[in-house]
Every structure is written in C-alpha cells, then in structure tokens.
Amino acid sequence: MNSATERTAQVLVSHREQLLGVVGPFPLARPRWHDVEPVNEHLAAVLGVPTVVLRLVDVAGGGGGRGGLVTYHAEALTAPAVELPAAAEADRAALRPHPLRADYATADGVRAALDWAERELAAAGRPVTGPAVQVKTWNLAGLFRLPTAAGPAWLKTGREFAVDEAVVVALLGAVDAPFVPTVLGAEPARRWLLMDHVPGEDCWGPSTEVLAATLPRMARAQAALAASYPGGEPAAGLADRTPATLVPAVKLLLDGEAGAELTAEELTAARALVERLPELVERLAACKLPHTLVHGDFHPGNWRSAGRDSVLVDFADAYWGHPAFDGLRPADFLDAEHWAAATELWCEAWRTLVPGSDPAGALRLAAPLSHLAYAVRFQEFLDGIEPSERRYHEGDPAAELRAALTAAEAL
C-alpha cells in the first residue's frame, strides 16, 4: 500500500457512551481522512445500523490529510446486534473527554445537531424523508446531507473559532443573492448552519469561463460591501483582520511554537520582515483598494457551478480585510495559464470598480502579508483543537512563515 495516497480504516465503535469494540482494519478507495461517507457505509454493512464518525483518533503513515492507517471513533445511532472484537486499553483511553473536543465530535453533540436540523426542516415545511448521511468530518467542521422531498439540505457543524457563516451569507446575499447558498436555519452559538442544496460541482480545475464569471463577480460584491461601510469599520460579526493587525499577531507567532520551528536564520529574517510590515501596509493602502469582506479561503474548490455562474460556499474563515488576500488564494490551485488569466480578470475588475487603483501592485504587496495571515490563522486552529487532530495542521504556520519570506524577497 502507498500510505501517502491509500487509506485503511479501523473504527472504535460506541453506543450511548459505551465502547462496543473495533471494526477493521478495512481498505477505502478514497484517501482523504475527512471523507467519512465510505467509512459509514462499511460500518452499516457490518453492524446493520446507521453510524456517524465522531472524530479521528490516530493515523499511522499518510500525511497531508490523506492515506495511512486511520483510526476513527464512530457512534452507532442505534444499538447493533453484532458482537465486535474488544478494543485495547489504549483505545479506551483515547476516547476520554478532552476540553478542546468539538461539540460535534461527541455523541450528544452530533445527536443534538441532527435533531435540530430535522426540527428546522420540519418547521420550514421540508421534513426529512430518510436518514441523514454524514459526508465529511474533520477538526474544523462536519457536513451532513439530509434528504427531503424538495431535494437535499445540508447541515454544517463548525467550531467556536469560526465565524458565524450565516452572517457572511447575509452580507454577501444583500449585494448578490444568487452568489450564496440559501440558509434554511442557523444556530450561531453552536455554529450550526442548515443550507439548501447548491446544484453543480465544486470547481476544481475551473475553466477560463468559470474564472471570468466568478472573479469579477466577487470583486463587484466586495466593492459594494465596502461602499456600505464607508468608515472602514468592520461589518458586525466579522473579525478585523485588516493588514495592520498582522504586526502584533505575527510577533506573537514568532515568539511561540511556530517561531521555534524556524531555523535561527529564518527567525531572524522573519523578525526583520515584521519590522517592515508597517511600510508594506502603507504601500498596500496606497494601491487604493478598500477594506471589505474577505472570504478567507477563496479557492475554486469553494465555488460550485452547474455551468458558468458560481455559488460560493464555506465561509468559516471570513473576516474584514483586504480583497487582494482573496485575489491571491486561487494561485495554488491553478496552472500557470489559468493563474495568469485569473490575475488579469481580477485586476481588470478592480481597475474598473476603483478608477485610479493599482490592483496588480496590491497583489504583489499582499503576497507576503497573505502568507502571514494564513500562518496566524493556522496557529489559531492548532490552539483550538485537541492533540489527536493537530496532525491536520502541524507545521502549517511555519510553512506559511517561510512562504512569506520567499514572497517578500520579490518586493
């Protein structure tokens, strides 16, 4: 087995807080750790009852969120009649409560979320017509598909350090309603979001036509939102992550575990870059693009399209900041030809929206700042998740700091 791309699962199965035993190991055709729909399908065949995967417990081998031997904890929603092999004592210890465990990674939490979603759909006149299907779960969110006669609805469960996505959808929807999903219900305190289905597919490998339909449209929406807040203050419900806030945030980052992962030479260069940040922020401001709502993870996989027009999804990392950070995000997901087309589309849109602005200059200046912003955000993830799930993001803050240093060399 190529442990970097092929996944094998073993599952600790519980019911009502009682560990019943172990299923597996068994092979899975799809490599990503968070892709748990096939895990539940296998468990249903073995146990004869529906299950939900609560969390990832351990991984041997693999990396980058895929491959290896993955140990999960799953909850049987009804008691199975099958007797399972006993779990080891170490496995029992791994299931003990942890203060940073996600609410939806507990049996009570996931049952509460599903019950809430069913009540909301019933109240909306769209009662569920069958069991919910868990599609994904990981250290930042979970995703369930709920069947209704009018088509599927989607329940997303998030973390307390994520933005209230319903707020973001409402803000973008106020200026371009078809650009966002329809929200069917929200529970902000628990970061539950219930959405109508968005037809189409995620736009991995987008065509030039999809780029042309999506990038200028996002720029228009962001410009309209910026005009709605002419004083520059963040819209209610959004964190202020404008470029100037990076100075204290990155200083703290360099004094912590991310800084400790850098070489002495890299750390010195990073501290020198922090000293340059006020100047870079001023130069970026001189490009004259306004602060506005930023998606925060504006890559093509978070665009859905049934043809040309796109609908944006996954707003958990949204904030109030500089639009060039979104403009740069597709770079890692496009080949050179499509990235060149994307930058020209983005720049032309902003030149039209803000006459006299310098979008191309903004992209250049924002490049190191964007990597610093991701370094800070990834550290927030690490600080907010339990140890077993840190493997999703360990090393990411330091990697982004190194990328910022490389980008700064070009300025």
Same domain (yes/no): 349, 401: yes
Which of the listed residues 136, 166, 196 is the one where a domain comes to its end? 196
Question: Which tokens hold the place of 107?
Answer: 């049996």
Distance in angstroms (rounded) separating the CA atoms of residues 270 and 375: 12
Same domain (yes/no): 116, 66: no
- What secondary structure does DSSP assign to 258-312, as a single string? HHHTS-HHHHHHHHHHHHHHHHHHHHHHTT-PPPEEE-S---GGGEEESSS-EEE
Q: What is the total count of domains within the chain?
A: 3
Residue 2 domain flag: no
Same domain (yes/no): 152, 82: no
Note every long-range contact of 337-340, with CB atoms under 8 Å and residues 24 or more positions apart, other chains counting. 338/206, 338/208, 338/211
Residue 1 domain flag: no
How do the pLDDT tens digits run along the chain, 411 residues long? 444 578 999 999 999 879 999 999 999 999 999 999 999 999 999 999 999 999 999 999 988 899 999 999 999 999 999 999 998 888 888 889 999 999 999 999 999 999 999 999 999 999 999 999 999 999 999 999 999 999 999 999 999 999 999 999 999 999 999 999 999 999 999 999 999 999 999 999 999 999 999 999 999 999 999 999 887 789 899 999 999 999 999 999 999 999 999 999 999 999 999 999 999 999 999 999 999 999 999 999 999 998 878 999 999 999 999 999 999 999 999 999 999 999 999 999 999 999 999 999 999 999 999 999 999 999 999 999 999 999 999 999 999 999 999 999 998
Residue 179 domain flag: yes
Cβ pair 3, 70 in contact under 8 A: no
Same domain (yes/no): 48, 127: no
Same domain (yes/no): 353, 236: yes
Q: At 201, give phi and psi (nearest 5°).
A: -135, 155
Cβ pair 105, 55 in contact under 8 A: yes
Same domain (yes/no): 70, 123: no
Q: Which domain holds residue 111?
A: 104-196
Question: Which tokens hold the place of 297?
Answer: 């993870």
- Residues in Cβ contact with 195 at an 8 Å cutoff, skipping those fewer than 6 apart: 153, 154, 156, 181, 182, 183, 184
Q: At 262, give phi and psi (nearest 5°).
A: -85, 155
Distance in angstroms (rounded) separating the CA atoms of residues 198 and 181: 6
Q: What is the pTM (predicted TM-score) of this model?
A: 0.94
